[in-house]
Amino acid sequence: MEETKIYGYMRVSSREQNEDRQRIALLEMGVPEKNIFMDKLSGKDFVRPQYKKLLRKLDDHSVLYVKSIDRLGRNYTDLNEQWRIITKEHKADIVVIDMPILDTRREKNLLGTFISDIVLALLSFVAENERTNIRQRQAEGIAAAKAKGVKFGRPPLPIPDNFYQVHKDWRAGKISMEEAGRRCNMSAKTFYCKAIKYEKST
C-alpha cells in the first residue's frame, strides 16, 4: 500500500503578518517543512505559482492541510471549483485545521460528503462576503476622508528657491529640460509639470 503524502498550503498577502502562525499550525499537523507551499498573494483568485506547483503533486494518496478556508481562497465560485478539482479530479483529501468538520478523510459516505459540501459553501460565501465588505468599508472611509479634505498620495515636492530663475533660463533656451530638472533636484518630467502649472497660475 502506497504511503500517504502530506502537504501544506499557506497564503499571505503583502500586508499580512500571519505567516508564522500558519507554518506552526501545519508543522504541528505533521506536514514536512519541504512539503509546505506558500504564495504571497491575495486570495481573490487562484493564479498563484506555488499553488499550481502543489496541485501537480496531489493524487489519491495525498492529504492537503490548510490552516483556514480563507488561506485557500476568498472567491466563492473559484474556491468551490478548486475544492472539487482537489477532491474529485486529483482525489486528494483536504483538512482545514481551524474547521475540523472540513476534513474529507472523515465520513466518506453520502451524508458526510453532503455535510462537508454545505459547510464549505457557507464558509466560502462568508469569506467572499467579508472581502466585499472590507472593500466597501475602505471605499467609504476614503470618500469620508476626502470629504473632510484629507489628501491621498505623496505630498507635492516644494518648489526650490532657484526654480523661477531656472524656469526663465529654460524658456529662454539657455538650458535643456534635463538640465533644468537637475538644477532643481528633480526629474525632467517633474520640472516640466511644475513649469506648466506655474505658467498657468501666472
**Mind telling me the catalytic residues?**
13
125, three cell numbers: 460565501
Rounded Cα gap, residues 151 and 142, in angstroms: 10
Alpha helices in the chain (DSSP H): 19-28, 49-57, 69-72, 76-84, 110-147, 163-171, 177-183, 188-201
* Contact between 182 and 192 (Cβ < 8 Å): no
Taking a C-beta distance cutoff of 8 angstroms, is the pair 195, 165 a contact? Answer: no
